[in-house]
């Protein structure tokens, strides 16, 4: 949930889409500026944070990658609970992955959070010669469903920062604080009890 504090916004952002569409690669490009041709699912890395400054606010994204649980359709509902933003990724060289991206959009619409900012990313735009989903088709689908659309390449970095930046701009600036926020547990000794009830 996006929360406000001194014009700082914390926003949970989730990536959804077919295995192989390039979700992890987009995160890696955005967070670390890297691209790996044979990106193996990186063990231990499924939670990143990255801060972006937009005109009037500093947005700290907590980015959740799927940890491979999408592979056998076993993603847990907690994954997208409370997400302020989602990037639904398809591989523009693979029409099936576009069809399944639409299912994710439906699922997210069902799950609620009407304020969620949703982006549709047609990834691997560097492979233009293998294109099988046209930009027009994707764009009109996105418009009809209230998403914004960009074609990206994690390989060449095309539109990668842009898509996160655009999300940051669109995040609602004044979201009602969630019904009394819970606490995140941290490892502190009992003596520091007060401090450990740090609130999100």
Ligand X SMILES: Nc1nc2c(ncn2[C@@H]2O[C@H](COP(=O)(O)OP(=O)(O)O)[C@@H](O)[C@H]2O)c(=O)[nH]1
Query: What is the C-alpha separation between 90 and 20, in angstroms, rounded?
Result: 9
Q: Which of 23, 92, 151, 167 binds ligand X (CB under 6 A)?
A: 23
Contact in structure between 48 and 65 (CB atoms under 8 Å): yes
Two tokens, residue 77: 């509902």
Residue 20 interacts with ligand X (CB under 6 A)?
A: yes
Task: List the single partner that 107 binds among ligand X, Mg ion, ligand FAD, none, CB under 5 to 8 Å by kind.
Answer: ligand FAD
Query: What is the C-alpha separation between 79 and 76, in angstroms, rounded?
Result: 6
Residue 19 interacts with ligand X (CB under 6 A)?
A: yes
39 or 145: CB nearest Mg ion: 39
What letter would DSSP give residue 33? S
Site residues for ligand FAD, window 94-113 (CB under 6 A)?
100, 103-104, 107
Q: How many residues does the chain have?
A: 200
Angle between helices 95-111 and 135-144 (to 10 degrees): 10
69 or 131: CB nearest other proteins: 69
What letter would DSSP give residue 200? -
Task: List the single partner that 166 binds among ligand X, other proteins, ligand FAD, none, CB under 5 to 8 Å by kind.
Answer: none
Query: What is the C-alpha separation between 165 and 12, in angstroms, rounded?
Result: 14
Q: How many residues bind ligand X (CB under 6 A)?
A: 18
CB of 139 to ligand FAD, least distance (A): 21
Two tokens, residue 69: 């649980």
- Diameter over CA atoms, the chain: 63
CB of 100 to ligand FAD, least distance (A): 3
Using CB under 6 A as the criterion, which residues of the chain lie in contact with ligand X when the complex forms? 19-25, 36-39, 123-124, 126-127, 153-155
Using CB under 6 A as the criterion, which residues of the chain lie in contact with ligand FAD when the complex forms? 18, 70, 73-75, 77, 100, 103-104, 107
């Amino acid at each position: 949930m996006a929360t406000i504090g001194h014009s700082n916004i914390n926003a949970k952002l989730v990536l959804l889409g077919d295995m192989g569409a390039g979700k992890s690669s987009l995160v890696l490009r955005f967070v670390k500026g890297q691209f790996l041709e044979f990106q193996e699912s990186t063990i231990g890395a499924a939670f990143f944070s990255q801060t972006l400054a937009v005109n009037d606010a500093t947005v700290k994204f907590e980015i959740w990658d799927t940890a491979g649980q999408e592979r056998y359709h076993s993603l847990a509902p907690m994954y997208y609970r409370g997400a302020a933003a989602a990037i639904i990724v398809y591989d523009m060289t693979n029409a099936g992955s576009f069809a399944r991206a639409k299912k994710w959009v439906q699922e997210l619409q069902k799950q609620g959070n009407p304020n969620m900012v949703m982006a549709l990313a047609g990834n691997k735009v560097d492979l233009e010669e293998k294109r099988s989903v046209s930009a027009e088709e994707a764009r009109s689908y996105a418009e009809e469903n209230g998403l914004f659309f960009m074609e990206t390449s994690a390989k060449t970095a095309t539109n990668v920062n842009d898509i996160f930046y655009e999300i940051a701009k669109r995040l609602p600036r004044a979201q009602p604080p969630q019904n009394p926020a819970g606490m995140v547990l941290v490892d502190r000794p009992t003596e520091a009890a007060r401090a450990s009830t740090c609130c999100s």
